[in-house]
């Protein structure tokens, strides 16, 4: 029984890799909120743990929702995936998702009941997104609208996680938080674009990657443009917490690294280089959250 889920997580939701990114995501969000409020230390460990657990559950819910949404296409074009091949069932995944939502409410109620007021709208948007906003065909025909509508969940989750700082402290959302939420939205786009850029010989029939829909050059150009935009917004966010100088150096180097990776892939499109695009997206995202909401505490204290 347990071995099935070990295989599933390895193929569809690698706990360790996702855990590192989610830890940066949640800690960075709460840390940035605390910095905006003039705090000199990260929020207490119990709150960081609650924010991490809530974030982890949300990301798991997104994966489960995708399994339901993509089931027909997976059964037709990707029968090797865990659900179509019978490793786990949608019913089992649905039960895990329902349990996750219960745990989200339990965490909110245990930490501070008012958190539920922030949680419910995020779950409502997640529910609409899971149903493709009741317009699946319309969205599928408009990949850019699809991308934007689905990535809006990222700043919503991030806003909820920041509330473990400001709301628990009895404050309002701090001024300047919107810049961080915009970074979160762009980071979501970067990760989504990066994981759907493939070398020509790795494209699969029925799988609509961005490299297939737009062509490799356009897909990589959009990916690099998203990174450049995220860097600019991140620098503006860094200025809100008096970390602009270090932010310019770090984010600038990351943009150069991403540019090198993108050009390298275009010059010699291969599976390994496409994987490097995806890896760069993850590293970029982790560095963004660490640079904005975690590093300033430690650099300031030295």
Tell me which residue of 156, 139, 164, 180 sits closest to 62, measured CA to CA.
Answer: 156
Average pLDDT of the chain to the nearest whole number:
94
pLDDT tens-digit map of 152-181? 999 999 999 999 999 999 999 999 999 999
CATH of domain 1-134+155-163: 1.10.357
As a whole number, mean pLDDT of residues 103-124 equals 98
Whether 300 shows a pLDDT value over 70: the answer reads no
pLDDT on residue 301: 44
pLDDT at 207 over 90: no
How buried is residue 77: exposed, middle or buried, by Cβ count under 10 Å (0-12/13-18/19+)?
middle
pLDDT of 302: 41
- Which of residues 265 and 207 earns the better pLDDT score? 265
The Cα–Cα gap between 274 and 282 comes to 13
What pTM does this model have? 0.94
% of residues, the chain, pLDDT over 90: 89
Q: What pLDDT does 1 receive?
A: 65
Contact in structure between 300 and 41 (CB atoms under 8 Å): no
pLDDT of 205 above 60: yes
Q: What is the pLDDT of residues 46-105, one digit of tens each?
A: 999 999 999 999 999 999 999 999 999 889 989 999 999 999 999 999 999 999 999 999
């Amino acid at each position: 029984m347990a071995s099935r889920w070990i295989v599933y997580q390895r193929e569809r939701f690698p706990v360790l890799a996702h855990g590192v990114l989610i830890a940066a995501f949640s800690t960075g969000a709460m840390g940035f909120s605390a910095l905006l409020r003039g705090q000199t230390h990260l929020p207490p460990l119990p709150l960081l743990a609650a924010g991490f657990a809530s974030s982890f559950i949300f990301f798991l819910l997104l994966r489960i929702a995708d399994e339901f949404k993509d089931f027909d296409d997976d059964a037709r074009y990707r029968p090797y995936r865990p659900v179509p091949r019978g490793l786990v069932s949608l019913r089992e995944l649905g039960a895990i998702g329902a349990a996750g939502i219960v745990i989200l409410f339990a965490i909110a109620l245990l930490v501070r009941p008012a958190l539920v007021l922030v949680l419910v709208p995020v779950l409502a948007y997640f529910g609409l997104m899971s149903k493709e906003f009741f317009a699946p065909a319309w969205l599928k025909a408009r990949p850019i609208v699809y991308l934007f509508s689905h990535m809006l969940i990222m700043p919503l989750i991030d806003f909820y996680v920041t509330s473990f700082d400001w709301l628990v402290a009895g404050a309002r959302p701090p001024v300047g938080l919107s810049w961080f939420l915009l970074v979160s939205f762009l980071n979501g786009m970067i990760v989504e674009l990066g994981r759907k850029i493939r070398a020509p010989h790795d494209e699969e029939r029925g799988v609509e990657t961005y490299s297939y829909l737009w062509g490799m050059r356009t897909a990589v150009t959009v990916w690099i443009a998203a990174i450049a935009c995220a860097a600019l917004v991140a620098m503006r966010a860094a200025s809100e917490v008096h970390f602009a100088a270090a932010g310019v150096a770090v984010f600038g180097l990351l943009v150069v690294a991403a540019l090198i990776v993108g050009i390298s892939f275009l010059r010699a499109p291969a599976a390994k280089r496409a994987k490097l695009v995806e890896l760069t997206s993850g590293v970029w995202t982790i560095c963004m959250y660490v640079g904005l909401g975690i590093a300033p505490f430690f650099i300031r204290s030295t």
